[in-house]
Amino acid sequence: MMKIPLSRPALAIVPTMKRLLIVTLGAALLTAACSTSTSDVDTPPDSTAAASTNSTAGLAAAASETRRPTAAAAKPRGPSFREVTIPAGTALVLRLTTAVASDTSRVEDSVNAELTEPVRIDGREVLPAGANVRGVVTDADESGRVKGRARVAFEFTSLDTGGARYDMRTEPFSRLASATKGEDAAKIGIGAGAGAVIGGILGGKKGAAEGAAVGGGAGTGVVLATRGQEVRLAPGANVSTQLRAPLTVRVGMSQ
């Protein structure tokens, strides 16, 4: 092949073209490098997907946590107590915590007491010992000088137990003073005998008869001037009564 000789100007262009080509290739490589660097800085597609997955999982967990209290609150709770009816006629054994007396108490005065024995229904305790009961005096008569024995009566109308108060009705409890007829007769007899002795010493049979009359009158006067026994129940006195009507109370499930 025949070589065509290049002119001097053509020979001068060749190095210039080489330099231009090198510069162009360098610029292209630099652009590619910058593009790669920028791509490295940005979040890769896989990382973006992972972040999205994690975010979705977090939202789901938060929603689950939010639903849990709602579900717990929606779950109904069973009652912590049950109702028990104590039948009429059930005995209540009590100890007074206030005083009651025939000569000092008045009708409608308050009377307080507490259970000394628990009340059980079907073997389970429904009223504990120490439960407070409240009531009122229904009758109070002091002893008379001539006739009439002292008497006091009261009944209970409410019960406190388990932090609640219940209305109730009980049979009246009453106490009557002891009779004093024997003591009165003794007083009259002693007075008559003493008068007869004194009268006999002073005036024979006639004096004895007159002395007996005087002595008997004196004994009767003592009886008429003396009241009979009173009924007095101090705090701590034991009393008992019964429910007049059924009583329904709330009892803890553990009892």
Q: Tens digit of pLDDT for each residue in 117-149?
A: 999 999 999 999 999 999 999 999 998 754 579
Q: What is the pLDDT of residue 114?
A: 98
Is residue 221 within 8 A of residue 151, CB to CB? The reply is no
Nearest to 245 by CA among 87, 127, 135: 87
Q: Which residue bears the tokens 């209970």?
A: 156
Q: Which residue bears the tokens 């409608």?
A: 108
Q: 238: burial class by Cβ within 10 Å (0-12, 13-18, 19+)?
A: exposed
**Greater confidence, 172 or 50?**
172
Q: How confident is the model at residue 102 (pLDDT cuts 50, 70, 90)?
A: very high
Task: Please compute Rg for the chain using Cα positions.
Answer: 56
Cβ-proximal residues to 59 (8 Å cutoff; 6+ apart), any chain: none
Q: What is the pLDDT of residue 224?
A: 39
Instruction: State the average pLDDT for the chain.
Output: 74
- Of these ranges, 54-63, 180-189, 232-241, the one predicted with the greatest mean pLDDT is 232-241
Q: What is the pLDDT of residue 188?
A: 46
> Of 44-53, 104-113, 143-152, 240-249, where does mean pLDDT reach its minimum?
44-53
Q: 97: burial class by Cβ within 10 Å (0-12, 13-18, 19+)?
A: middle
Sign of the alpha-carbon dihedral angle for 113, 116, 117, 118: positive
Inform me whether the pLDDT recorded for 46 exceeds 90.
no
Q: What is the pLDDT of residue 66?
A: 55
Q: What is the pLDDT of residue 234?
A: 97
Portion of the chain with pLDDT greater than 70, in percent:
49
pTM: 0.54
What mean pLDDT is predicted for residues 188-203? 50
Would you state the structure tokens that stand for residue 53, as one six-digit string? Answer: 């997955």
Spatial distance between the Cα atoms of 150 and 254, rounded to a whole number of angstroms: 47
What mean pLDDT is predicted for residues 91-108? 97
Q: What is the pLDDT of residue 73?
A: 55
Give the number of other CB atoms < 10 A from CB of residue 86.
21
**Greater confidence, 239 or 183?**
239
Q: List helix spans (H) across 126-229.
A: 181-225
Q: What is the pLDDT of residue 212?
A: 47
